[in-house]
Amino acid sequence: MPKRPALNLPRHVDLQTLRVFVAVAEQGNFKKAAAQISMVPSAVSRRIQELERVLGVQLVNRTPHVVEFTGAGQALLERAHRILKELDGLSLDMAGFTDGTRGTVRLAASVFSLMESLPDDLARFTQQFPSIGLSFQSLSSRQVIEALRKKQIDVGVFAASAVPTGMRAQVYRDDRLTLLVRAGHPLARRSSVGIADIAAHEVIGPLAGTETEQLLADQARRHGMRMRSSIRVASFDGMVMMAQAGFGVAIVPANAWQRFGPFRGLRRVEIHEPWAVRQLLVGMLAGTPGASVAGRLFVWLGEGRGRG
């Protein structure tokens, strides 16, 4: 038997040989080990002999009824267990990436979608799939769609009148807009209003280029009017505070009143026209695999699994 082990062990010791070696240890003899791993006893014996030749040490003491491991054999057995356990763990990790249960999803959502139950839905998603991480940012609906097209994000939640070209989308929530007015404002006594009523007053608007800003401008233009909106703020809180201070009326999602209101000094007035009812969509690029982590979040939000 050679006295020097081969210098390049990975080239000579394969994983199947280590599995054979571990099976011999578990079963105590070659015949039972062969049955466990679907090999003939002579093939098991040759594997062990070749392993001893490569390593240059005796690993087992062969007796008629049982196999006893030498000190070198015990040392190799401990290391073989660790190697195979690590390999099995690696296999599970890689399987998670291929079946959509492990990885990171880049998500963006419109500011107003946060007025819905999106934070709670995402929390339930991460509880259900703890190995999937979320990278989140808040953008306007148009920016969300653009980020999807540029592949800067994987999944987006946005308001749109139709599914953008090249994307796959599902309805996430119905989105109804409502009017917030200061108590004592002329519209505060109304039960509902339309675009003509709103256009007659200063509107605290969202930033230019947002879906809501464009919607209001389009509706006013269709009726031959122009929105009065000299005050624009980037956050929902800012719109509420400016309305409370009397700078104008604010148009926000109706659910914002239900989730965070009532707001001191403000009243809610319904908008009775069809344009105030929109849909929030969850979307991803059409070619995104359904078995990916992005596909899993897309289905989760679109099918409403996160809703409590």
Asked if residue 20 lies in contact with residue 48, where contact means CB atoms within 8 angstroms, the answer is: yes
Give pLDDT, residue 7: 44
Residue that wins the pLDDT comparison between 149 and 4: 149
- pLDDT tens digits, residue range 222-258? 888 888 888 888 788 888 999 999 999 999 888 888 8
Instruction: Give the number of other Cβ atoms within 10 Å of residue 210's Cβ.
Output: 22
Give pLDDT, residue 103: 86
Residue with tokens 């339309």: 194
- Name the pairing type of β-strands 103-110 and 132-139: parallel
Give pLDDT, residue 182: 94
Instruction: Give the number of other Cβ atoms within 10 Å of residue 286's Cβ.
Output: 12
Token digits for 56?
């240059």
Asked if residue 156 lies in contact with residue 105, where contact means CB atoms within 8 angstroms, the answer is: no
What's the average model confidence in pLDDT over 57-69? 79
Q: Range with the lowest mean pLDDT among 5-14, 41-50, 193-202, 228-237?
A: 5-14
The model's pTM is: 0.63
- pLDDT tens digits, residue range 120-156? 999 999 999 998 999 999 888 889 999 999 999 999 9
Asked if residue 256 lies in contact with residue 236, where contact means CB atoms within 8 angstroms, the answer is: yes
Instruction: Give the number of other Cβ atoms within 10 Å of residue 63's Cβ.
Output: 9
Give pLDDT, residue 6: 44
Nearest to 223 by CA among 205, 196, 263: 196
Give pLDDT, residue 159: 87
Nearest to 275 by CA among 176, 157, 180, 196: 176
Residues 6+ apart with CB under 8 A from 251: 177, 178, 179, 180, 198, 203, 205, 212, 216, 271
pLDDT band at 267 (very low <50, low <70, confident <90, very high): very high
- Give me the domains of the chain, ranges plus CATH numbers: 9-98 (1.10.10.10), 104-308 (3.40.190.290)
Average pLDDT of the chain is: 84
